């Protein structure tokens, strides 16, 4: 029974020959303080429960319960046995339930989620706060970015889930769009060159902080501008989104980033947000997983609630 410690008072009992149904009956009587109530709880007849108690009394050489006006009063030996027997039965019940259910409120487990800056700042803080309330034993390890080895890591279980802008187009991978985003511009609140409305002319005249991207890709805003034969004045290229609001806060530069992230940074860094002065398509954020843990109830539970949380953002 795992790490459950049975008291020394039970060491004389050979567990291989003990009918475990007797422990179920003991647990029911202890909880109900009544043979008749225990019988109803177990869907057994009262004589069956009484006979079982007599057998257990004989095996343990102790009366276990004494009949009083207030019900079946447990003896000192019964009180000693009650907690470890309940723990043992709980462990067996959880094990026999197998993968059909997940006791999230009591589970002790770690999940690994790979995310870019967006997921780490916009999605996971609120989700982790919710988890702390409903499943305090669950631990989340955040992988700072989605690496080139993401396929292998999802396949072998090193990573449980990933949040990314780009789906994995390969058999046995699931890509579920959990939300869609657009872009927004940030400036410092007292920027001398910006009024209430950001025009395209002003946007192009500003010096921009941009996120570094792989050489074979371009940011969506630059693609939209290039279709018009336009381009931004790029002053600084940074490796992470979090650098942008820090620099914007103390300079006349501006930055463009996903809307929910921009709103978060605007609140926390006391910046001003501006709708983009040109139309750009919305883009999806995907929750990605491999189908190998499909039978894992804990994995299914986490995925379901993470999807629901994202859809509420």
CATH code of the domain covering residue 163? 3.40.190.10
pLDDT score, position 7: 42
Q: Are residues 124 and 258 in the same domain?
A: no
Which of 55, 77, 100 represents a domain boundary (last residue)? 100
Residue 3 counted as domain residue: no
Q: Are residues 34 and 160 in the same domain?
A: no
Q: Are residues 187 and 275 in the same domain?
A: yes
**Cα(122)–Cα(126) distance, integer angstroms:** 8
pLDDT score, position 100: 59
Q: Both tokens of residue 64? A: 């276990």
Task: Report the pLDDT averaged over residues 37-45.
Answer: 88
Task: Count other C-beta atoms under 10 Å from residue 247's C-beta.
Answer: 16
pLDDT score, position 10: 40
pLDDT score, position 42: 86
**Cα(234)–Cα(50) distance, integer angstroms:** 84
DSSP symbols for 132-200: HHH-TTEEEEEESS--TTHHHHHHHTS-SEEEESS---STTEEEEEEEEE-EEEEEETT-TT--SS--H
Domain that holds residue 229: 183-280
User: What is the reported pTM?
Assistant: 0.67
Residue 17 counted as domain residue: yes
Task: Count other C-beta atoms under 10 Å from residue 237's C-beta.
Answer: 12
Q: Which residue has the higher pLDDT, 44 or 99?
A: 44
**Cα(232)–Cα(163) distance, integer angstroms:** 28
Q: Are residues 130 and 150 in the same domain?
A: yes
Percent of the chain whose predicted confidence (pLDDT) is above 70: 91
How many domains does one find in the chain? 3
Task: Report the pLDDT averaged over residues 250-256.
Answer: 97
**Cα(248)–Cα(209) distance, integer angstroms:** 8
Q: Are residues 93 and 131 in the same domain?
A: no
**Cα(14)–Cα(1) distance, integer angstroms:** 14
Which of 53, 83, 100 represents a domain boundary (last residue)? 100
- pLDDT surpasses 70 at 297: yes
**Cα(37)–Cα(31) distance, integer angstroms:** 9
pLDDT score, position 94: 63
pLDDT score, position 5: 41
Q: Are residues 289 and 151 in the same domain?
A: yes
Task: Report the pLDDT averaged over residues 83-95.
Answer: 79
Q: Which residue has the higher pLDDT, 178 or 40?
A: 178
Residue 2 counted as domain residue: no
pLDDT score, position 150: 86
pLDDT score, position 300: 92
End-to-end CA distance of the chain: 43
Q: Are residues 191 and 237 in the same domain?
A: yes
CB half-sphere exposure, 278, CA atoms < 13 A: 19
pLDDT score, position 224: 94
Q: Are residues 20 and 149 in the same domain?
A: no
């Amino acid at each position: 029974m795992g790490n459950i410690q049975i008291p020394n008072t039970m060491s004389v009992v050979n567990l291989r020959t003990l009918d475990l149904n007797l422990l179920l009956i003991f647990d029911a009587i202890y909880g109900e303080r009544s043979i008749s109530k225990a019988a109803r709880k177990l869907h057994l007849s009262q004589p069956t429960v009484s006979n079982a108690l007599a057998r257990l009394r004989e095996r343990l050489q102790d009366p276990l319960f004494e009949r009083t006006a207030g019900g079946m009063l447990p003896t000192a030996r019964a009180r000693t046995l009650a907690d470890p027997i309940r723990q043992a039965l709980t462990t067996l019940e959880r094990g026999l339930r197998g993968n059909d259910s997940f006791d999230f409120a009591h589970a002790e487990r770690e999940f690994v989620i790979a995310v870019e800056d967006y997921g780490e700042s916009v999605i996971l803080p609120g989700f982790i706060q919710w988890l702390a309330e409903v499943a305090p034993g669950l631990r989340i390890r955040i992988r700072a970015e989605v690496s080139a080895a993401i396929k292998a890591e999802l396949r072998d279980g090193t990573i449980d889930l990933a949040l990314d802008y780009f789906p994995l187009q390969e058999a046995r991978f699931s890509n579920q769009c959990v939300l869609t985003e657009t872009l927004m511009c940030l400036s410092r609140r007292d920027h001398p060159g910006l009024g209430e409305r950001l025009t395209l002319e002003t946007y192009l005249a500003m010096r921009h902080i941009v996120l570094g991207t792989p050489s074979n890709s371009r940011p969506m805003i630059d693609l939209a501008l290039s279709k018009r034969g336009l381009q931004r004045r790029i002053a600084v290229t940074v490796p992470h989104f979090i650098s942008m609001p820090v620099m914007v806060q103390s300079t006349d530069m501006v930055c463009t980033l996903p809307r929910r992230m921009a709103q978060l940074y605007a609140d926390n860094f006391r910046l001003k947000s501006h709708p983009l002065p040109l139309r750009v398509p919305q883009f999806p954020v995907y929750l990605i997983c491999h189908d190998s843990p499909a039978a894992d109830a804990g994995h299914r539970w986490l995925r379901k609630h993470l999807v629901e949380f994202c859809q509420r953002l």
